[in-house]
């Protein structure tokens, strides 16, 4: 499978969000990545259900929704209603991860789990049969524009080996400090889906940047 690009609108111009979504619709992007932060699990706040619904109404690409919130299981139904197609919860935030993943799938969404940089990938071994995707954070979650953590390559390789041994079709996604300088090496390590924010939205020609990232 060719790798996928999921532009993160966290770094986009929120005063012109409809134009941002129009641009992504007509671009070569595969997904639209939404970061949901509650100011508790991470020290930042973003947006909630009304904004997600408006994005869903305008979007022609699937919504890849990353929850950086405490007790995500309380809101699974509401995120589905708002328009999430892929729902990512944090391993560190779930009281019963297995049940949470089952609930996500039961509502027709793809189930994904994310790991903070300090969390070892081995913790996910029992959950791989319930996972459509794993999101490896390659920066500390909470803010855009951070520097890529170099140890992430080995973490991805270890996860890829785990997935292969389990015989699961689970995809690997990365988020944080991703761009043209490291995408190819990450792809060689085993990454399938790339969340890219700053590199796209600070480019002179964002659609062209998306195309270039797809072509790597």
Per-residue pLDDT tens for 37-55? 999 999 999 999 999 999 9
Q: Give a three-class secondary structure readout of 103-171.
A: HHHHCCCEEEEEECCCCCHHHHHHHHHHCCEEEEECCCCCCCCCCCCCCHHHHHHHHHHHHHHHCCCCE
Segments making up each domain of the chain, as ranges = 4-215
User: Of the residues 30, 35, 103, 192, which is catalytic?
Assistant: 35
What is the Cβ-side half-sphere exposure of residue 193, based on CA atoms within 13 angstroms? 23
Maximum Cα–Cα distance for the chain, whole Å?
46
- Which pair of structure tokens corresponds to residue 133? 């995707």
85 annotated active-site: no
Q: How confident is the model at residue 1 (pLDDT cuts 50, 70, 90)?
A: low
2 annotated active-site: no
Per-residue pLDDT tens for 161-180? 999 999 999 999 999 999 99
Q: What percent of the chain has pLDDT over 90?
A: 96
Q: Which region, left, alpha or beta, applies to residue 27 given φ > 0 means left and ψ of -120 to 50 means alpha?
A: beta
> Any idea which fold 4-215 has?
TIM Barrel (3.20.20)
Residue 67 neighbours by CB distance under 10 Å: 26
User: Of the residues 64, 132, 175, 192, which is catalytic?
Assistant: 175
The DSSP bridge partners found for residue 172 are 134
């Amino acid at each position: 499978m060719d790798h996928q690009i999921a532009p993160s609108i966290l770094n986009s111009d929120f005063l012109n969000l409809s134009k941002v979504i129009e641009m992504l619709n007509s671009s070569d992007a595969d997904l639209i990545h939404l970061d949901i932060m509650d100011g508790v699990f991470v020290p930042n706040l973003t947006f909630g259900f009304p904004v997600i619904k408006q994005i869903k109404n305008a979007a022609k690409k699937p919504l890849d929704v990353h929850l950086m919130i405490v007790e995500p299981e309380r809101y699974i139904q509401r995120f589905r209603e708002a328009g999430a197609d892929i729902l990512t919860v944090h391993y560190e935030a779930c009281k019963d991860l297995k049940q949470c993943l089952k609930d996500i799938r039961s509502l027709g969404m793809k189930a994904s789990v994310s790991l903070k940089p300090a969390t070892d990938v081995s913790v996910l071994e029992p959950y791989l049969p319930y996972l459509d995707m794993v999101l490896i954070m390659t920066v500390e979650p909470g803010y855009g524009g951070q520097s890529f953590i170099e140890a992430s390559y080995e973490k991805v390789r270890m996860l890829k080996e785990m997935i292969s041994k389990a015989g699961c079709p689970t995809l690997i996604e990365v988020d944080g400090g991703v761009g043209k300088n490291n995408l190819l090496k990450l792809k060689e390590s085993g990454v399938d889906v790339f969340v890219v924010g700053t590199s796209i939205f600070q480019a002179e020609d964002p659609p062209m940047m998306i195309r270039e990232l797809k072509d790597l």
